[in-house]
Amino acid sequence: MLKFKWFQKPFRPRDIAISSDNTYYSLDNNNNQVVVNDENEHVIRYFGKKELKDPLDIGISPVDGTVYVTDMGGHCVRVYTRYGKYLRSFGSQGKGQGQFDLPWGVAISSTGMVFVADNLNMRIQVFDADDQYLCSFDCQSGDGKMRCPRGIAIDDQYVYVTTDTSSSLLKFESSGKFVCRIDSDSDGLDCPTGIALTDDVPCRVVVADTNNHCIKVFVQ
């Protein structure tokens, strides 16, 4: 169990990502920073305290190990090297292209494209590896209606999204075309948040079902 007595406030992890070399990157919400440790719980470094205001989600690029953190307090996505050097941020508060209203989940594709769940704007925004806006998708009808997206996970073909107010698990093509709703009303998801994919083919979709206090696994 990780405990850090030298931090100003108790360690309060909000999200975690694991790099290709099996290093753990945890978001410490109480101290507004990223904590990096190995699988034996040894702390390697921590960073982001100078920039982060209220971090929500973290993703690591499979291309070069770049670390992306959604910062609710800064209305942006902050970008760091794997060693914790601050590179840049992109986004601002608003409803326009490249702007955010409560940026939540973030995921990076095998080609370096960055997908961000823009929660209160009820859409997913897509950026290239240079942080340039490419497109967004915000299905607003039928089973694919996207209301307050939170968690996001991607594979080489599809984007998987958990939504808050409609409490559903949605699947889209990377272009934004709605494919299907994976869960059903009888599954009883209640405020699903974090989401991850297994390496199976087809993959299993693992969801943190927050208000039901459990993890649920869906097979496509």
Domain containing residue 124: CATH number:
2.120.10.30
For residue 149, cis peptide bond before it (omega within 30 degrees of 0): no
Cα-based distances in Å from 109 to 29, 60, 116, 206? 25, 10, 11, 18
109 assigned to some structural domain: yes
166 assigned to some structural domain: no
- Average pLDDT value for residue range 19-26: 91
- Output the CA angle 57-167-123, nearest 5 degrees: 55
203: tokens are: 């993959």
144 assigned to some structural domain: no
Boundaries of domain holding 40 = 13-138
Domains in the chain, number = 1
What is the spatial distance between Cα 199 and Cα 183, in angstroms, rounded to a whole number? Answer: 20
Q: What percent of the chain has pLDDT over 70?
A: 96
58 assigned to some structural domain: yes
160 assigned to some structural domain: no
What pTM, to 2 d.p., does this model score?
0.91
- State the pLDDT at residue 52: 96
71 assigned to some structural domain: yes
Cβ contacts of residue 149 below 8 Å, gap of 6+? 104, 105, 117, 118, 119, 122, 123, 124, 161, 162, 163, 164
Look-up of token digits 């299905």: 139
155 assigned to some structural domain: no
User: Over the stretch 29-47, which tens digit does the pLDDT of each residue have?
Assistant: 889 999 999 888 888 999 9
Which residues pair with residue 16 across a beta bridge? 26
Largest CA distance in the chain: 50
What is the spatial distance between Cα 49 and Cα 39, in angstroms, rounded to a whole number? Answer: 23
Which residues pair with residue 213 across a beta bridge? none
- State the pLDDT at residue 3: 54
User: Over the stretch 117-146, which tens digit does the pLDDT of each residue have?
Assistant: 999 999 999 999 999 999 999 877 777 788
- State the pLDDT at residue 23: 92
Query: In the chain, what is the straight-line distance between the N-terminal and C-terminal CA atoms, in Å?
Result: 34
Q: Where are the beta strands (DSSP E) in the chain?
A: 13-18, 24-28, 33-37, 43-47, 55-60, 67-71, 76-80, 86-90, 103-108, 114-118, 123-127, 133-137, 149-154, 158-163, 168-173, 178-181, 192-197, 204-209, 214-219
- State the pLDDT at residue 1: 55
At residue 142, φ and ψ (nearest 5 deg) are: 65, -160
169 assigned to some structural domain: no
**DSSP string over 136-162:** EE---SGGG---SEEEEEE-SSEEEEE
- State the pLDDT at residue 45: 93
- CA-based R_g, the chain, Å: 17
